[in-house]
Chains A and B, each alone.
Chain A
Amino acid sequence: MVVISDILVQLGQMTLVLLLAPLLTGVVRKMKARLLRRKGPSILQPYRDLLRLLRKEVVLAENASWLFRVTPYVTFAAIWVAAALVPTFATGLEFNWSADLIAIVALLGSARFFLALAGMDVGTSFGGIGSSREVMIAALAEPAMLLMVFCVALIAGSTQLSTVATFMASSEVGLRVSLGMAMIALIMVALAENARIPIDNPATHLELTMVHEAMILEYSGRHLAMIEFGAFLKLQLYVSLIICVFFPWQITTEGAGPLSYLVSVAAYILKLLIASFLLAVFETATAKVRVFRVPEFLGAALMLGLLGTLLRFVSRGF
């Protein structure tokens, strides 16, 4: 009985992230538009975009290889699996022991690895510029993320995300300096990894300033749909991760009744709304930095992560 309900929770979780991900992006876009006093597209626009892309034919560059055609599915699958392992409304995920936080970071790394390769496959200079900048950003963001994982894992005594969330939801955590540093580091990494302002502009198509968009410039049709969907999922994943590690209030822990699931789903959606509002405000209030200022931004995230971890090594009190 327990196993069945766990599997149901896991499946529900996988479907939920899949269904909610485009909506989250739509909400952020809408809020950004309203903050700029524009009317903005409907929050359902990302779904329409995906459907439209799926219906279109693929225009493939003449010298695109099999890798170029496989990559959209590989990246989508890797991100989806990673997203399915992050607790959203309940912690008792059936398969959470199959991969911990470090593995989730590495899964996202796999997705990025293939996307960067696909950017170089056709052999245009835009693909190259996108890939080259993406790997530079990743080379700083990934260690920052891992250090934040170390810090959180040392506090919770585990790298298993469900265990971490359960521990964080319990009352024994309290306010900690190291936790605050880890949170800021994670938010900075999340901004960089999701190609948001100030690192990259998700709305730009000005060639020389874009990073992520330059990398996927040659994609079209259903391939582009998969990559866009992957990007939506990634945003959802990072927001869920921040929520479940740092704000796990009302998350359902193991052995709770069906009513608590309803409460925690509602709480989760509310938290998503707050997060997207904060993201929209932040993006409206800041400007994109030059590419070569990005290392300073991410270097700060790296140092925060390192400092948080060091504090944990030095004393248990922080």
Chain B
Amino acid sequence: MADVKKIATRESYGNALKDLAEEFPNLVVLDADLAAATKTGIFKKAYPDRHIDCGIAECNMMGIAAGLSLTGKIPFVSSFAMFAAGRAYEQVRNSIGYPHLNVKIGATHAGITVGEDGATHQCNEDLALMRTIPGMVVMCPADDVEARAAVRAALEYEGPVYIRFGRAAVPVINDKPDYKFEIGKGTVVREGKDVTIIATGICVDSALGAAEKLAADGIDAEVVSICTIKPLDEELVIASAKKTGKVVTVEEHSVIGGLGSAVCDCLSEKLPTPVKKLGMKDVFGESGSAGALVAKYGLDAEGVYKSVKEFI
């Protein structure tokens, strides 16, 4: 697989901000002393006057973004997911969500693939936290193509948006010529009939790898890529669940409150279906390389393959 192009979605984020700056003259980018890591530094280099470093003060940064949006700017606010969704949760809820302001949050370094920094910096709760805020759009792109498309879609959309980006380089999946991105729409990236694997973010690649292994065992898995956790593409989830009768969700996030919960919320009400949720099972992460951690917590292709086999 050495020929597969790999890029971290945080890199895609920084590039997209720079590339969209002329088209969206009201775009301003805020960071909290992490521009080099979140990759908003790419934007800063090209548009220094439109990049606002707020220092290490994420709660204040969310409020400043709220105020800027009320003067017509479109702020993209950046920090690690831990601090954007975690530390500043209440500011996001009350200063951005409640007044439904046009603020975009680009949160990088989400999940266990933060790696060596360990549990304090591995946010496995951000999707859950952001999902609970009324009116908040929550996205988790799978690769470079989807990440760039999500940034553009967020800028075109009027209202608060949270986008989760990763630290580790991931393969490009969505490089098909007919690829189209729309907020609230998922994609069937592999058709199948025996089981549905619904994945988000970096786990889409794991799900595709698992599907290949399952195929070798004669199991035909459908893989659904969900970038928008909220609003969830219920139509697609229900259609696939109806077809296969069994659903496995995969996310680099707690099994509490993220993609798996969103899928269960939908299916339990509209099409009760057996669901197996893969993710961080109510535990904190730990230090290690991204690859080693993903394997340990069963979120690589092999881990997903084994879990699906056990489940069906």
Asked whether A and B interact, the reply is no
Query: Which A residues fall within an 8 A CB radius of B?
Result: none
Query: Which B residues fall within an 8 A CB radius of A?
Result: none
